[in-house]
């Protein structure tokens, strides 16, 4: 699992590559949670190359979203595949994120 982050014109984009399962969430959790420092901006989680998300990965997304809502930023989830879309729907978190 890899996270590539880039910052451009007030927007932070984190490209997630691989499977965000429980071990991967522990491995890259800090890399993702460091984005809380940018929670006053727009954070785009680019999931084009994200194959799978577990509850642990979902919790990371939720932590970022909570920080953004407290600091006036927002989290956009981009290009999720159908399986990940189902996870958001089944758990009821779909409307918490702006999904594009």
Partner 1 sequence: MDPTVSMDSHCQAIIQEFRDNLPVFKKVSFEIKDLLEKMISGCGKVHTNLENQLKAKDLTGAGIHVASIESRVKAEESLAGKLERKGNKYKSLADITDIIGLRVITFYIDDVDKVASAIEKLFEIDWENSVDKRKLHQIDSFGYLSLHYICKLQDFPYRFEIQLRTVLQHAWANMDHDTGYKSGVEIPMQYRRAMNRLAGMLELIDDEFSKMRSELTDYRRSVHNLVASGKLDEVPLDGDTFRSYLELKPFDNLNRRIASMNQAEIQSVSLMNYLAIFKGLGCKTLGDIDKIIKKYFEAAYQIACYQLGLTDLDVISASLGPQNLCIAYVLKNDGGKAGVRYLYELINGTSNGSEIWAEMIMDQARDLPFMNK
Closest distance to partner 1 from the beta carbon of 70 (Å): 14
Quick count: other Cβ atoms within 10 Å of Cβ 95? 9
- According to the binding rule CB under 8 A, does residue 95 interact with partner 1? yes
Binding to partner 1 (CB under 8 A) within 30-89 occurs at 54-55, 58-59, 62, 82, 85-87, 89
- Alpha-carbon span 54 to 26, nearest angstrom: 12
Residue 91 in the binding site for partner 1 (CB under 8 A): yes
Q: Which residue, 3, 60, 2, 13, is CA-closest to 38?
A: 13
Nearest distance from C-beta of residue 4 to partner 1, angstroms: 25
């Amino acid at each position: 699992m890899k996270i590539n982050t880039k910052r451009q014109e007030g927007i932070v984009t984190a490209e997630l590559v691989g499977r965000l399962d429980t071990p991967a969430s522990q491995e890259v959790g800090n890399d993702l949670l460091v984005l809380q420092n940018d929670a006053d901006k727009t954070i785009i989680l680019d999931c084009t190359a994200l194959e799978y998300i577990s509850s642990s990965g979902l919790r990371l997304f939720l932590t970022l979203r909570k920080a953004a809502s407290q600091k006036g930023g927002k989290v956009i989830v981009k290009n999720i595949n159908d399986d990940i879309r189902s996870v958001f729907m089944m758990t009821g978190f779909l409307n918490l994120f702006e999904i594009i």
